[in-house]
């Protein structure tokens, strides 16, 4: 895959699909919810990622400071992305992308449980 091609991901059943511009890195966060979701996030401005199928086909979960909505497919329950309640930020779960397309893409570790800083 060329660096300029967007990456595509889908939930397990294929009801929700997204595209995202190839990022510089992915983020593994250790906060309580990201640990449980086992997600690898790519934080993307809304202009560089989009839901291409399944808009409205997700359930949301909001917790803590109620600033982020985690989206999961209504059918297979896979966590596909999160959005800021303000609509200005979001991230997609790269675990929904074919692993072969992620080759060479580094993972940065983020301490969302404590310091709110990257650990690398």
pLDDT of residue 3: 59
pLDDT tens for residues 25-40? 999 999 999 999 999 9
Question: pTM here?
Answer: 0.92
CA dist 40 and 107 (Å) reads 8
pLDDT tens for residues 59-88? 999 988 899 999 999 999 999 999 999 888
pLDDT of residue 94: 98
Domain at 106, CATH number: 2.170.150.70
Question: Is 13 inside any structural domain?
Answer: yes
Burial class (CB in 10 A: 0-12, 13-18, 19+), 59: exposed
Q: Can you give the residue range of the structural domain that contains 64? A: 7-110
pLDDT-derived band at 47, boundaries 50, 70, 90 = confident
Total number of domains in the chain: 1
Percentage of the chain modeled with pLDDT above 70: 98
């Amino acid at each position: 895959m060329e660096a300029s091609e967007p990456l595509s991901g889908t939930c397990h059943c294929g009801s929700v699909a997204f595209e995202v511009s190839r990022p510089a890195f992915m983020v593994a966060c250790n906060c309580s919810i990201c640990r449980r979701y086992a997600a690898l996030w790519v934080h993307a401005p809304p202009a560089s990622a989009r839901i291409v199928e399944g808009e409205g086909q997700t359930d949301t979960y909001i917790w803590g400071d109620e600033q982020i909505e985690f989206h999961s497919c209504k059918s297979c329950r896979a966590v596909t992305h999160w959005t800021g309640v303000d609509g200005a930020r979001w991230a997609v779960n790269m675990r929904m992308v074919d692993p072969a397309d992620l080759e060479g893409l580094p993972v940065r570790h983020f301490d969302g449980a404590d310091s709110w800083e990257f650990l690398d």
